[in-house]
Every structure is written in C-alpha cells, then in structure tokens.
Chains A and B, each alone.
Chain A
Amino acid sequence: MAFRYGGYIGQLLRVNLTNKGITKEPLKEDWARDFVGGVGLSARIMYEEVKPNIDPLGPENKLVMMTGPVNGTMIPAASRSSFCAKSPYTGSFFHSIFGGFLGPEVKFAGYDGIVIEGQAKAPVYIWIDDDKVQIKDASHLWGKDPFKTQEILRKEIGDEEIHIATIGLAGEQMAPYAMILCDIRAAGRGGLGAVMGSKNLKAIAARGTGGVAVPNVLKVYNTAIRLNELIATTPAVQGLSQYGTPRMVAAMNEGGILPTRNWQTEVFQGMKNITGEAMREKVVKGHRACFACSINCTKYSVVPSGPYKSIINGADYETIYGFGSCCAVDNIEALCKADELCDHYGIDLISAALCISWAMECYEKGIFTKEDTDGIDLKFGNADGMLEMIEKIGKREGFGAILAKGTREASKIVGKDSVRFAIQNKGLELAGHTARPFPACAVGYATGPRGGSHHDIRPTPEKSGLVDRKVLEGKGALAAEVNHWLILCDSMLLCHLGEPIWGPMKISDTTIEALNVVTGWELNYEQARKIAERQWNMIRCFSAREGFTREDDQLPIRFMEEPVPEGPMEGSYIPRETLERLKDDYFSYRGWDLKTGNPTREKLIELGLDFAIEDIC
C-alpha cells in the first residue's frame, strides 16, 4: 500500500545483528508528519528505543541510517543522508550527515531508513538488493581500508553501481572519533564509525531499482528548475563549482577569521599556498557532484608523485583549516596527503587535525618533548611530523593512542593546564568557523547538542553582516532560528551548502516549498517552524535524559579568555559572563528552564513531546 505522504517509501528496514533478524516495518505516519525524516525522525526513534545511560559501544546502542522525503527526487542539493547513534565521543545523541548517492539508493531499494541493532559475533556486512536483504560474512574485509573494502564488494557483488558505507581500521578498533565513509563522502563526526565497529558491522551496501513517488511530478519538476536557477544565480552560492568549499579561505584570512595555530590567532601568514585558488592551480583534476545536485562542490585532486603522493576527493575547507592553518602547514600537497590518510584509517579529519594542533601547541610550550611524541618534532608547520602523527592516531600507536582519544580526554591525561588549548565543546573539536567575534554563533556552539559542530549553528548571519555582530540583544533568538532551519534541512536531508537558499536567518519559504511539493503537505511557516522546534527539543530531551545540563553548554576556554590577538577582529572574544547572558537569552526564547537548560513541561506539551515529561521535568 502506498504511503499516505509523497516522497516517502513508507517502510523501515530493521536489522538485528545479534539474532540475524531482518524485518521490514511500516513507517509511522504520525512520526513522519511530526519529525519528517533524517535527524528528526532518527531522534524520535532513538529516544523511544535506546535506554538512557547505555554504553554507546555496547549492543544496546542503535545505529540509524535515515533518508528524508526529498531524497531521491530531482530536487537539487538534497541528496544527503544521516547516521545517528548515541555517540561514544560526546555521550549523547549524535547525527552525522553525508552526501553522495547512498541515501537515494536505499530509498530506491524500498526503505526510508535502516535501524541497526545488536552486535554480530563476527564481522559482517549488510547487503540490500531491493527487497532482498542479507547479513553476510565480512571476515575477508576486516582490516581493509574503506576504499579497498568498497572495491572488493563491488567486484564480489558484480555491480559497479552499488553504493557503500564502510568503516576503516579506526572503526574496527572503536576509536573514539572513527568515521563512516559513504562512497567518497564521510559521515565524519562523533565516532559513529566506532558504533558501527562495535557491532562488528564493516559495511552497508545497497542497490535499488525502484523510485520515489510524489503527488505531482510537474510541480516537483518546476520547483527543481527554480532551485537550479537559484543555485546558478545566487551570488553567495557561487564559487563552489570552481573552487569547492575552500573558495573562502583567502577571504576569511583577510577578514581575520581563519583559525590558525590551534586558534592562537585567526590570521595565517601562509594562507596563499592553501587557498581554493592554489588548490585549483596545483592539484584539482576534476569535479564531482552528489545525486541530482548542480553545485558540484567536490573536487577530485591528485598529487601524482613525491612524498605527498595522493588521490583524494577534496580537499574541503575543513581539511584546509584543520591541517592547514591550525597546524600552520602551508603546503597544499601535504594537506591532500593528510586528507587521504584520514580516509585510509577512517578517522574524522577535523578531530584528528585539532588533536594534532593541540599537541603542537603543547609541544611548543614545553608541555611535551620529543620523548613524549615518539621522537616526532611536532612544531607548528612541520608537515611531515603532522603526517606521521596521523598514521599513529590511525593505528592508535604510541603517542597517537593518546591523541586518538580526542583533546578533552588527552588533556585530562596530560594535565599541565593543557586543557586551556583544547578547542572542543562536549568533547567534539570545533570546525573552522570562529565564534569569538560572533555572539549568536557562540551561544549556538555552546548549546549545540553535538558541541563543536558548525552544522548546529552557522556564523553566516553575523559573518555576512546581515545582523550587527557587535550587538548581543536578540542573539539568543537568532541562534534558535538558525538551529531551526538547520534541523529541518537535516530532516529533509538538504545540503547546507544551499544555506543562502534554505536559510540563512530562519527557515526560508523555499525550504518549505521543497518539503510541501514533495510530500503534498501544505505547511505554512509557523507549522514548519513548529516541526523544527519539536525536533530540536527532542534532541535536547535525549541529552537531558543522559544527564546533560546547562553546565555542559560551554565554549573552548580560549574563546572565553583569550581575545583574538591581531587582524581586523582583534580583541574579539566571549567572556564567561557574556556567554551566560547569551544562554539566558537563548533559553528564555526557547521556553527552557533557565537553571537546568531543559525544556519545560509546558514546552513539551506544546510540542507534543509529553512522553518526555517524566524523564526530564
């Protein structure tokens, strides 16, 4: 029977790796309507099915891969998918989003999402071939890197067109920030690769030959045409095809907002060698796009020979930021090699880079010597030392085993005030978007469920001058509305590179149009906003149930104590009292309890989340 709403398949796949059970169950209509899909729907499922305080690496945790109603249609910038689980890295609900083709493929195979539970006794992979689903032996894949695993599976299955999510060595070893590589894109953050590894699940491969039904194909077509025109003409989207996400490296440096030397400053002298322009000149050989997307942001880069010989899909901005300016390495070829190594081992490159830049600062300040770092000279700018350390992190060998724990845990082990250099919140290292000059971004980082994620908040409204960055008033409300457009997009699985179209200050009419035209709904702004607010509160409830409180909503110490020392943003920072004031503003706007930071009983009733009242109120 067809699902009531367009864009959905109407069916979830459940795979229990303990008892090898494979079941197909109907998608709940009310959950689809209330939580849409992707992250929102996964949060609802996780809240229902995962008990509080379980071991994230135990069989009780679940790994949910979810699509959204827009996935698999011709709507552009809408091909992402989400993996969600309780994170071993942060200890709460975590979503990691990836682009490419796997999400649409899973829908074409006949599923809106996959709920993976239990723990296999030996390595396995899941093979989804339309309605035929199998749990297969993966002992021959264990120990293989993600790309080799994909190559073997494609050959073994005899189909070059299958799409595959897989873990590397780090995931197998349950390294805290192991990632999941999905074809060439990564669900990189939060250690969800470790969750997959804990289940002895090496890979998920899918092939689908079905389609996605929508209420009116012509309406969807017209919306897709309009969206493609917007992508082609909106100035703030320009440059992604030519330069990828590193398009703004030079501009950010000029604006004094390029995090450098483990965020000791935000201006990098070696910037010119690691810009999007430098990449295009030296290493980029082609462009790649995700399903049905006209942005073409992914660059295909090759370093043909020499010590940094590598082939990557990137580098993206976060590579340039993390291994480039933060480690003060100004060699684009070395950055390509760093990117390749992270994929090879299956580790989140943002966390890996920030662990190394943290170690570099400790090294230069005398907290470490070469004896501590296995003989590696970890001074800023030493590309070879950085690459050696990535290898050690990937293998969890020697000093790398400490860095593989992340900066929060590593700084606890090391002590000596090194926590002051740990650029993390809730354990997650920050992406390369500063908050020191931007109060809304700061409170968004602090209160974000994932901590250091630049996809729970965006600096764009303040960074573009849409609002006055120096004013504190109204920034709580701004952060909340940015949360809302982000979470709605993460539930529809729209790509945030379409930020000027989907946001950037609040949920845009275009976003609502894309959702309505695919599902057949007739949501207005208030209704769409309420869904997003419900999703955000659902995730906050999950964290509260795990014991998180207002006290956990913090910024890196550096952001609160050290003003930017130079450049046009000189003097910017968010003192603790300012952060607390911003949190009051944010919680008040959200109707949350000022003392605990939890949603109130009234708010939960208003949003239809009554079932969470007894857990957190």
Chain B
Amino acid sequence: MARVRVKTFSVVRDVLGSDVVEIEVDKPETVGGVFDALLRRYGEPFRKMIWDPNTGEMTPFLIRLNDEMIRSTSDMGREIKEGDKIALIFPLGGG
C-alpha cells in the first residue's frame, strides 16, 4: 500500500473538497490505482468529472507525477510509491 498526495483544481477540486488530498492506494500501486481509490472515496461526483458519460472513457488530460508530466491516455500503469505527489492538470481549454 502506498500513500500519495493528490492535487486537483477547479471543479475537480470542488468535488474533493480540498486543494490536496491524501489517499491510500492498494495494489496495483499505479497511477490507475490512484484513480480507483479516488473513485471509491468520492463516488459518482468524482466519476462525473473525470469519466465522460458519452463515451464511457476517462477524459484525456496530463498528470504531473512529482516533477514529470505523464498522460492519462497512456500512463495509467505507471508505478507509484509512498509519498508521491500527483496533480491532475485538468480541466483545460478555453480562453
């Protein structure tokens, strides 16, 4: 099990209730596992913000894993470890 810190913004932050939340991730200790854990804790409101009900798929976005940028579309299998910091670079667009 790994405990990580997850940072979110805007409407996703509103669902989580705080700029940063700590969450424990059971195996698999991966980025995808972080989202599974968040979904278990925050349920449907979190799902609505991340998974597109029209496609059933997770909306694409970048993720900052410590100081590295990774992609939700290809890097959900990336391993995480105790103390990692994850930020969801989302939502984007507009302006």
**Interface residues, chain A, CB within 8 Å of chain B?**
230, 233-236, 238-240, 242-243, 245, 247-248, 250-252, 254-256, 275-277, 297, 316-318, 321, 431-433, 454, 458, 460, 463-466, 468, 496-497, 499-500, 504, 568-569
Contacts and interface: CB of A to CB of B under 8 A. Distances in A.
B69 interface: yes
B48 A251 contact: no
Given A248-B93, A255-B69, A255-B89, A464 B11 contact: no
A131 to B, nearest CB: 38
Contacts of B53: 233
B94 A297 contact: yes
A497 B62 CA distance: 19
30 contacts: A233-B52, A235-B51, A235-B91, A236-B90, A236-B91, A236-B93, A239-B91, A242-B11, A242-B14, A247-B10, A252-B89, A252-B92, A255-B62, A255-B64, A255-B87, A255-B89, A316-B95, A317-B95, A321-B95, A431-B95, A463-B89, A463-B92, A465-B62, A465-B73, A466-B73, A497-B93, A499-B94, A568-B67, A568-B69, A569-B69
Contact of B93 (A230, A255, A499): A499
B46 to A, nearest CB: 11
Given A255-B64, A464-B60, A238 B95 contact: no
Nearest to B63: A465
Contacts of B59: 234-236, 464, 500
Given A236-B59, A497-B94, A250 B69 contact: no
Interface residues of B, number: 36
Contacts of A250: 9-10
A10 B65 CA distance: 55
Contact of B92 (A234, A464, A496): A464
A376 B35 CA distance: 51
A613 to B, nearest CB: 38
A497 B64 CA distance: 24
Nearest to A251: B9
Contacts of B61: 464-465
Contact of B94 (A235, A247, A255, A569): A247
Contacts of A458: 93
A269 to B, nearest CB: 16
B34 to A, nearest CB: 16
A254 B64 contact: yes
